[in-house]
C-alpha cells in the first residue's frame, strides 16, 4: 500500500472510531435524559505519535489528553493550536513545562503542585484550567486526594491567581461491574454537589474512559477521557512502575 493510501485509510479508521465514540456519548446522554452537547470529549493520545493526533484532529477533534510530562510537552509545543489537557500524575520537578504548555490540568491532588503550577504559569497565557483529582475508590495505589480533603484543597486553589478551578476528576477502580462503576462515579458527583453548596461553581466532572463512559455519563460526567476507543490499542507504555496506567 502506498503512503498516501495508508494515510487515507487511517483517516477513515479514525473518523469511524471517533464517530462510534460520539454515538456512544449521544446514546448515554439521551438514556439519562441529558442534553445533547453536555459532554465534552477528550481524546487521550498518550503513547501515540503526533501523526495520530493530526489524523484525529483532521476529523474535527480539538482537545487532547496526555499522561507523561515530556511526551505531552513535546506534542503540545508541536501543535499549539490544539487544546492540551494534562491527565497524568505530576511530579513537582515537571510542573514548569506543564504550566507553560498545557491549557488544562486534571490531576491536582496536593497543594504544593497547585502552588507551583500557578507560580509558573506564564503571565501571557490565560489561567490554567484545573480539576482536583479525588481517590473515589480508596485504593492505596491510586493517586488523588481523599474525598474529605477535596473541599479544603478547592478552597486554597481558588485563591491562586493563575489557576481557574473547574471541577473534580477521578480514575475509579477498573471493574466490569456496572453497578460498582456507577457507585464510584456517583460519589464524585455527590462531592461536587456538596462543594458547590459551599459557594463554589465547579462545572466539570472529568470521569469515564473507553470502557466505562456510559456509566460515567449516566452519573453526570461533563468530560470523558477516551484513548483506546479512538486511537486503538496502546502497543507500549512508558509508565513508571510506581504509577498506574
Ligand atoms: C489512559 C487514560 C485514559 C484513557 O484510557 P482508555 O481506556 O484508553 O480510554 C483516560 N484517563 C486517564 C487518566 C488515562 O491515564
User: What domains can you pick out in the chain, each with its CATH number?
Assistant: 3-231 (3.20.20.10)
Average pLDDT of the segment spanning 4-22: 86
Q: Is 131 in the pocket of ligand 1 (CB under 6 A)?
A: no
Element (H, E) at 16: helix 3-31
Q: Is 189 in the pocket of ligand 1 (CB under 6 A)?
A: no
Q: Is the model's pLDDT at 122 over the cut of 70? A: yes
Q: Is the model's pLDDT at 143 over the cut of 90? A: no
Name the residue among 63, 51, 45 with its Cα closest to residue 10. Answer: 51
Q: Distance from the CA of 119 to the center of ligand 1, in angstroms?
A: 28
Using CA atoms, how far apart are residues 239 and 245, in angstroms rounded to an integer? 7
**DSSP 3-state of 95:** helix
Average pLDDT of the segment spanning 185-193: 98
pTM for the full model? Answer: 0.94
- Report yes or no: 34 and 63 within 8 Å, Cβ to Cβ: no
Task: State which of 41, 65, 212 you would mutate to test the pocket of ligand 1, scoring each by most atoms of that ligand within 8 A of its C-beta.
Answer: 65
Residue that the C-alpha cell 504544593 belongs to: 112
Least-confidence region, from 6-10, 24-28, 98-102, 179-183? 6-10
Q: Is the model's pLDDT at 159 over the cut of 80? A: yes
* Mean of per-residue pLDDT scores for the chain: 93
Q: Is 239 in the pocket of ligand 1 (CB under 6 A)?
A: no
Residue that the C-alpha cell 487521550 belongs to: 44
User: Could you tell me what percent of the chain has a pLDDT over 90?
Assistant: 86
- At 235 the pLDDT is 81
Q: Is 46 in the pocket of ligand 1 (CB under 6 A)?
A: yes
- At 174 the pLDDT is 87
Amino acid at each position: 500500500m502506498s503512503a498516501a493510501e495508508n494515510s487515507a485509510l487511517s483517516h477513515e479508521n479514525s473518523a469511524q472510531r471517533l464517530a462510534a465514540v460520539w454515538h456512544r456519548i449521544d446514546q448515554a446522554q439521551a438514556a439519562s435524559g441529558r442534553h445533547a452537547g453536555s459532554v465534552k470529549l477528550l481524546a487521550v493520545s498518550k503513547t501515540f505519535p503526533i501523526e495520530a493526533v493530526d489524523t484525529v484532529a483532521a476529523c474535527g477533534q480539538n482537545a487532547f489528553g496526555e499522561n507523561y510530562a515530556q511526551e505531552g510537552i513535546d506534542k503540545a509545543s508541536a501543535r499549539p493550536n490544539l487544546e492540551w489537557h494534562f491527565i497524568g500524575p505530576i511530579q513537582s520537578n515537571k510542573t514548569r513545562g506543564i504550566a507553560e504548555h498545557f491549557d488544562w490540568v486534571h490531576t491536582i491532588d496536593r497543594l504544593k503542585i497547585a502552588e507551583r503550577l500557578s507560580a509558573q504559569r506564564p503571565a501571557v497565557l490565560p489561567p490554567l484550567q484545573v480539576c482536583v483529582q479525588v481517590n473515589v475508590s480508596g485504593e492505596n495505589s491510586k493517586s488523588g486526594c481523599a474525598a474529605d480533603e477535596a473541599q479544603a484543597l478547592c478552597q486554597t486553589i481558588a485563591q491562586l491567581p493563575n489557576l481557574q478551578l473547574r471541577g473534580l476528576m477521578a480514575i475509579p477502580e477498573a471493574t466490569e461491574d456496572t453497578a460498582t462503576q456507577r457507585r464510584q462515579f456517583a460519589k464524585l458527583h455527590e462531592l461536587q454537589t456538596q462543594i458547590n453548596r459551599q459557594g463554589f461553581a465547579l462545572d466539570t466532572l472529568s470521569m469515564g474512559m473507553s470502557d466505562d463512559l456510559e456509566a460515567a455519563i449516566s452519573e453526570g460526567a461533563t468530560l470523558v477521557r477516551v484513548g483506546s476507543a479512538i486511537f486503538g490499542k496502546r502497543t507500549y507504555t512508558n509508565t513508571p512502575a510506581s504509577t498506574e496506567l
